[in-house]
A and B are shown apart, each in its own frame.
Chain A
Amino acid sequence: MRRLLLAAALALLVAAPAASAACPRTSLGDVEDEVMCPVCGTPLNLAEEAPQADRERAFIQREIDRCRSKSQIKQALVAQYGDRVLALPGDQGDDSIGDVLVYVIPAVAILLAAVAVAFGASRWRRRRKPASTGPPVANKRLDADMERYDL
């Protein structure tokens, strides 16, 4: 009897980690920043105190408890809410132009801003140069003044 109990305990010790390894380590936080709250129109992680967002989180948590992986949970969310629940560009799998634009537009905006700053800085420097040397008459007067107060 004692041997039997010992064998059962050993079997439990071996089986427990194996079971947890079979369950993918998915957390609510992993999923909620990659999906939308369709009613709020924001990513789920930004939707605070919205009843629809709370229901969606509860749904995700139930799926996590059922040992579903992140991609399986996303598929389940699409089955419930449609493609619009996916927040990441390209996740919807339709290769739309919007998926490309979402990366291109910020890059173009940053490039344009950099060009504008560079252009403005170069113009400002060009304008400042002659001002620092000053007109010849003013320079002469300045030199004379400096000589007068020379210590």
Chain B
Amino acid sequence: MRRVLSPIPIAVILGVAALVGLLAYGLSANKPDRGIEHAIAKGERKKAPALDLPRLSGDGRSSLAAMRGKVVVLNFWASWCVPCRKESPLLERWHRRLTRHDGTVLGVDVLDVSSDATAFARQYKLSYPMLKDKGGDTLDDFGVIAYPETFVIDRNGRIAASRRGPVDEAFLRRQVDPLLKERS
């Protein structure tokens, strides 16, 4: 009994337990939030997290709240992201189409050098609004784990669909077209 209560082994065990606890906390804190994904899988539309960021051009700020009433195709991208190159022309085509139906594509450039991102937008002739999330602060809110990721947001600011990886024509037709017919 005396051996069990000896203070040194107890201190060592407590120390090791504290370190293991700290490691477990670190692992759990870095787990991506899959709340949006689960809601979509259940057919629910979760309210989109707040998004208020500076414009990539450096000219003021913009927010998702300011786009309430529009169908928004929210696209997280970066100029160094290879698959983003593939989907950018498609997003630009859809943006032109959406503007005729009170909708928009909204790009969020994440963890990127501004001049590289601006050159990318120029190269692919992207005319849709671009925001810059320099520190990637909004990634956790949306549960973004890779690039590109796209969220389709209805006229009431709720997330109706999401896609990890590049979007294609079929995804946009299936997810965006029905929302355009909805009223806010």
Residues on A lying within 8 angstroms of B by beta carbon are: 38-39, 51-52, 54-56, 59, 79-84, 105, 108-109, 112, 115-116, 119
Contact = CB atoms under 8 A, between A and B. Distances in A.
B4 interface: no
Nearest to A50: B80
Interface string B42-63: 0000000000000000000000
B90 interface: no
B113 interface: yes
Contacts of B136: 38-39, 82, 84
Contact of B22 (A39, A84, A105, A112): A105
A135 B101 CA distance: 97
B11 A51 contact: no
A38 B8 contact: no
B39 interface: no
Interface in B18-67: 19, 22
A112 B135 contact: no
Given A38-B111, A39-B111, A80-B114, A112 B12 contact: yes
Contacts of A79: 134
Contacts of A38: 111, 135-136
A55 B116 contact: yes
Contacts of A39: 78, 111, 136
Contact of B80 (A52, A116, A119): A52
Nearest to A39: B111
A65 B114 CA distance: 18
B113 A112 contact: no
